[in-house]
Chains A and B, each alone.
Chain A
Amino acid sequence: MSTETAGGSSVEYIQHHLANLSVGQGFWQLNIDTLIFSFLLGALILFIAMKIGQNLRTETPGRFQNAVEGVLEFVDNQVKDSFGGKAPALIAPLALTILVWVWLMNFMDLIPIDLLPAIAHGLGVPHLKIVPTTDLNTPLAMALVVFLLTVYYNIKVKGFGGYIKMFLFHPFGKFFVPVNVVMTLIEELAKPISLGLRLFGNMFAGELVFMLIALLTLGATLSASLLIWFPLQVVLDLAWLIFHILVISLQAFIFMVLTIVYLGMAHIDADSH
C-alpha cells in the first residue's frame, strides 16, 4: 500500500475507512457506496451473461463461454450432490449468482485499500467503502433471502402442519415440546445469521488487516526508519494479499454451499429425519 496520508492518527484513519458514503440517519441511512459497487458488479455479471448469450455456440464454444460453462457445471454438480438431481429450477441459478456475485464483491478487497477512496477524496467524496461484503447489510440481505426461501420450501415440501411439527417434535420427541420449540427456533435462526455473519466477519477482518498494514507507514516522513518499515509493509501486504485470494474464494464458495445445504435440508421430509 502506498504511504497514503489520510491525516491524523491511526484511529482516525481506520474510522475514516470504516465509514460508508451514506445518506439519511439511523435506520433510514442508505449506504450509497455499497449499493453502487454491488450494483456495478451485478451489472458486470449481467453484461457478461448477455455477451455470451449473444453468440452461444453448441459445437465450438469460445474460450470465454467454456470458462463460464465450467463455473456453471461446477455449481450444478454442487446442487446435484445435495439434492440428488431433483432440485427446483431456482436453486442452481441462485447458487451461481451467490458464488459469482459474492466472489466479485469480495474481490474488491484486493484492490489497494487507499486507491479508490483517495481518488474519490480528490473528487470531493468524503467516504468510500468499496467492498460491499464488508457492509453487514449485504451478506445479511442474501442470508435473509436464503432464510425466507428455506421457510418457503419447508412449508412447500412438508406442508404447514409438517413445518410446525418440525418445531414441536424435533429434536427430542413429543415429551419435550417447549424445549424442542426453543431448540429448533435457535437452530433455524442461527442458520441465516451465521451465514451472513461468517462472510461479513471474514471480509471485515481481512479489510482491517489491510488497514493495519497500511498503518505501518502512515504519515511517515522520509527517514531512516522508513527503510525498515517500508519493505516490511510490502512483504506483509503481499503475503496477506495472496492469502486473501484464498479467503475470498473460500468465503464465496462456503456461502454458496451452505445456501445449497440449507435449501436441501428444507427438502428433506420430517419423517426421514
Chain B
Amino acid sequence: MNINITLLAQIIAFVILVWLVSKYLWTPLSALMEARRQKIADGLSASERGKHELKLAQERSAEILRETKEKANDIVAQANARANQVLEDARVNAKVEAERIVAQATAEIDREVNRAKEALRTQVSAIAVTGAERILKREVTIKDHEAALADLIAHI
C-alpha cells in the first residue's frame, strides 16, 4: 500500500478516462437530453397556446350563436308582424271590395227596375191605346194622342 509510480499511472488513467467519458458519454447524452427538454417545453407551450385558442374559438362561436339566435328571433318577430299586416290589409281590402260589389249590385238592380218600369210604361201605354181603339172602334194614331199618352205615361 505504499505510494509509488502506480500513483502517476492512475493519475494519467484518470485524466484520460474523464476526457473520454466527457467526449463519448456526457456531451452527446446531455445534448440529447437538452434537445428533449426543449422539445417537451415547446410541446407544452404549443398545447397551452392551443388550449387558449380553443377557448377563444369557443367564446367566438358562443357569441356568434347568440347573435344568430337574436337575429332569428328578430326575423320571426318581423315575419309575424308582416303576416298580421298582410292579414289586416286583406281584411280591409275584402271589406272595401264587398262594399263596392254590394253598391254595384244595388245600382244594377235600380237600373233594372227603372228599365222594367220604362218598358212597362211603354207597354201599358200601348195597351191603353189598343184598349181605347177597341172602345172607340177606330184607329187612334199615336201621333194624335201623343200629348195625352205622355200625360198618361207620366201618371203611371
Contacts and interface: CB of A to CB of B under 8 A. Distances in A.
B139 to A, nearest CB: 138
Contact of B21 (A34, A38, A76, A96): A96
Interface in A3-47: 18, 24, 26-31, 34-35, 38-39, 42, 45-46
Contact of A56 (B1, B21, B28): B28
A135 interface: yes
Nearest to B19: A93
Nearest to A58: B36
A28 B5 CA distance: 5
Given A38-B10, A58-B39, A72 B33 contact: yes
Contacts of B29: 52-53, 56, 68-69, 72
Interface residues of B, number: 31
B18 to A, nearest CB: 5
A265 to B, nearest CB: 20
B20 interface: yes
Nearest to A100: B21
Given A58-B35, A142-B14, A29 B2 contact: yes
Nearest to A28: B5
A27 B5 contact: yes
Contacts of A31: 4, 6
A35 B5 CA distance: 11
A52 B6 contact: no
A45 B9 contact: no
B32 interface: yes
A118 interface: no
B22 interface: yes
A141 B11 contact: yes
B10 A34 contact: yes
A195 interface: no
Contacts of B11: 141, 144-145
B141 interface: no
B7 A97 contact: no
A76 B30 CA distance: 9
Interface string A213-253: 00000000000000000000000000000000000000000
26 contacts: A24-B4, A27-B3, A31-B4, A38-B13, A39-B13, A42-B13, A46-B17, A49-B21, A53-B28, A58-B36, A72-B26, A72-B29, A76-B30, A89-B22, A90-B18, A90-B22, A93-B22, A96-B21, A97-B21, A100-B21, A135-B6, A137-B3, A140-B7, A141-B8, A141-B10, A141-B13
Interface of B: 1-11, 13-15, 17-18, 20-22, 24-30, 32-33, 35-36, 39
Interface of A: 18, 24, 26-31, 34-35, 38-39, 42, 45-46, 48-50, 52-53, 56, 58, 68-69, 72-73, 76, 89-90, 92-94, 96-97, 100-101, 132, 134-138, 140-142, 144-145, 204
